[in-house]
Amino acid sequence: MTKKGSPITTNTGDVNDNDTSASAARRPRAAVRTKALAQALTGSESYVNGKLTRTALASLAILTFITFVGNFTQLQLSAALPTIVSEFGISVTTGQWLTSIFQLVMGVMVPLTAFLTRRFTTRQIVIVSMSVFTVGSLLAWMGPTFLVVLAGRLLEAIGTGVMWPVLQITVFSIYPLSRRGMAMGTVGMAMSVAPALGPTFGGMQTDAFGWRSIFFTLTMIGVFCLALAVFGLHNFGEIDRLAKADFFSVVLSVIGFGGLMFGFTNIESYPFSHPMVWGAVLVGVCGIVWFVVRQVRRARAYAEAAGGTATSGATSGSGKPAEPPLLNLGVLRNRSFTIGTICAALSFFAFSSIMVIMPLYIQNDRGFSATISGLVMMPGAFGMCISQFFGGKLLDRLGARPVALTGTLVLLFGTVMMSLIDLHTWIWWVSIWQFVRQIGMGFIIMPITTWSLNCLEPSEVSAGSAVTNTVRQIAGAIGAPVLVILMETLTQLHGGDRIAASIFGTQWTLRVSAFIVFIQVLIVLFGVKGEGAGSSHDVAQRAIARMRAERERVHAGHPARRPR
């Protein structure tokens, strides 16, 4: 018998099931879907039987598209720059801040990625980022002054600055080692097309509807991306609610890299002996040195607190939880990673400056419209798209050395041929050699970046991604003002006819860019060593070697007992 009012044992499951079903029926479908989206997908749930699951593919496609939008926005104003400079009555050096500040802020935001991906979910990061991006686009669209437009660009950069590292980390967490080159090459196709398509569409919009229409379009795209993130994006990876960021290091990076850029851009208006130049450069250098020293010290303290390994439960000598540095520069001790990072940084240095300099040549020196300027630069996007895809596949088969060496030689040849421009050059000559240049870029950036990250331990990939993306963005941000200032300095030294002097400055700036690419050739030739380095076979062999070393270490620490 049972007591009065007590449930019958055999019916308990049925009662609970009915209650659960009823509550589920009453629960709004939107809440159920939101809960499903919030559940983090693991690598085993994302990649099954040699391919992505439908859920993981949809989320990865959303992340790729949003990152594409950020890269598309980055250089979209380059073709509209002459028009903006004329409307606001500012110098070219001041106007190019609309492009440079985007890259600089993205470079500052990238180090925060390692913290953000530990502390917040993928959905939280993307939704907040797209909200900030949309507000920035709206502000730049409605901004009455150059400073307001610049502030809008700053918010756009903050909103998109973390997206590429988040996408990289997601790809590396989903795909096995043998498929990463192909995956990064495929994703890189979209990323490489974006910066080249940006000036094309920006130029067409500027001629048809004015430069402000660019920001109106970006506002609408931002709203669309926000909707995609809210209703279709799943989370990836686990989070640590107790993780903290070193925001003082963020301030140091802003002061350091911002001061350096501000000093360089003031060279046009002031002599180098003026405090606005040397003072800003000095503040920037001090900020960078302080930033680097702080990262090294925090990394050492974190490693010591964790007993030599970066574990989440590490505590400092004072008993407080030890936090990793904002930017773990310890990954630079890996020679291959450092070489790959330097090579990618030099590529971005040259690439960003060309995307600013050539529209000025096409519009100001040759008298063509912003639309023609964009169309001339557009074929390069397809060249880079093709080479990114095949570069990733060749990396898996042949390794980084032959792929990157081919890319640097092609890039060098294309840059040298582009430097032969003059007042009467066929305008599509620029397009042909920009196409060749970006084929070379495609064989360098993604394969060399994938190879350098593959050379790290799996636990270091997040930190390595933050370091390499920071260095690349900073190199791109500094490259544009440095080579633009060089171009204008050479133009002033030439004297005489304005257009002839401007073309002279452009020619020699391209030759300086070619010399930088020549340095890249030497770095790849002598720095990327080992037959098949970075190929899937090479990565697998190194993984097996690490497993064997770990097994030997364990056995050495626990020797088998000898029989008595």
| DSSP symbols for 55-92 | HHHHHHHHHHHHHHHHHHHHTTTTTTHHHHHHHHT--H
Confidence of residue 4 (pLDDT cuts 50, 70, 90): very low
Separation CA 446–CA 392 (nearest Å): 7
Q: List, in sequence order, every beta strand (DSSP E) within 284-384.
A: none
In the prediction, which pLDDT does 180 show?
Answer: 66
In this predicted structure, the answer to whether residue 242 has a pLDDT above a threshold of 80 is no
516/545: higher pLDDT: 516
- The per-residue pLDDT for range 34-44, each reduced to its tens digit, is 555 555 565 55
Enter the tokens of residue 199. 């000036």
In the prediction, which pLDDT does 1 show?
Answer: 44
Task: Look at the alpha carbons of 260, 133, 170, 308 in this order and tell me if their dihedral is positive or negative.
Answer: positive
In the prediction, which pLDDT does 11 show?
Answer: 42
Q: List, in sequence order, every beta strand (DSSP E) within 321-378.
A: none
- The per-residue pLDDT for range 187-241, each reduced to its tens digit, is 766 666 676 677 778 888 888 888 899 899 999 999 999 999 888 888 776 776 7
Using only the alpha carbons of the chain, give its radius of gyration: 26
Spatial CA neighbour of 473 closest among 160, 107, 191: 107
In this predicted structure, the answer to whether residue 461 has a pLDDT above a threshold of 60 is yes
In the prediction, which pLDDT does 542 show?
Answer: 61
In this predicted structure, the answer to whether residue 134 has a pLDDT above a threshold of 90 is yes
546/287: higher pLDDT: 287
Q: Which of 125-139, 426-440, 453-467 has the highest mean pLDDT?
A: 125-139
In the prediction, which pLDDT does 22 show?
Answer: 47
Separation CA 536–CA 129 (nearest Å): 34
Separation CA 524–CA 519 (nearest Å): 9
430/17: higher pLDDT: 430
pTM strictly above 0.75: no
Separation CA 534–CA 402 (nearest Å): 11
Task: Look at the alpha carbons of 66, 68, 69, 71 in this order and tell me if their dihedral is positive or negative.
Answer: positive
Separation CA 29–CA 468 (nearest Å): 42
In this predicted structure, the answer to whether residue 404 has a pLDDT above a threshold of 90 is no
In this predicted structure, the answer to whether residue 349 has a pLDDT above a threshold of 70 is yes
In the prediction, which pLDDT does 310 show?
Answer: 43
Secondary structure of 14-52 as H, E, C letters: HHHHHHHHHHHHHCCHHHHHHHHHHCEECHHHHEECCEE
The size of the chain, in residues, is: 564
In this predicted structure, the answer to whether residue 422 has a pLDDT above a threshold of 60 is yes
Q: What percentage of the chain reaches a pLDDT higher than 90?
A: 7
Q: What mean pLDDT value characterizes the chain?
A: 76
Separation CA 438–CA 441 (nearest Å): 5
In this predicted structure, the answer to whether residue 473 has a pLDDT above a threshold of 80 is no
Range of weakest confidence among 56-70, 207-221, 260-274 = 260-274
**CB-facing half-sphere around the CA of 424: CA atoms within 13 A:** 0
- The per-residue pLDDT for range 69-110, each reduced to its tens digit, is 887 887 777 778 888 888 888 877 777 778 777 767 776 776
Confidence of residue 443 (pLDDT cuts 50, 70, 90): confident
Confidence of residue 19 (pLDDT cuts 50, 70, 90): very low
**CB-facing half-sphere around the CA of 471: CA atoms within 13 A:** 24
In the prediction, which pLDDT does 66 show?
Answer: 87
451/137: higher pLDDT: 137
Q: Averaged over 166-193, what is the pLDDT?
A: 71
In the prediction, which pLDDT does 5 show?
Answer: 43
Task: Look at the alpha carbons of 116, 121, 125, 128 in this order and tell me if their dihedral is positive or negative.
Answer: negative
In this predicted structure, the answer to whether residue 113 has a pLDDT above a threshold of 80 is no
191/421: higher pLDDT: 421
In the prediction, which pLDDT does 307 show?
Answer: 60
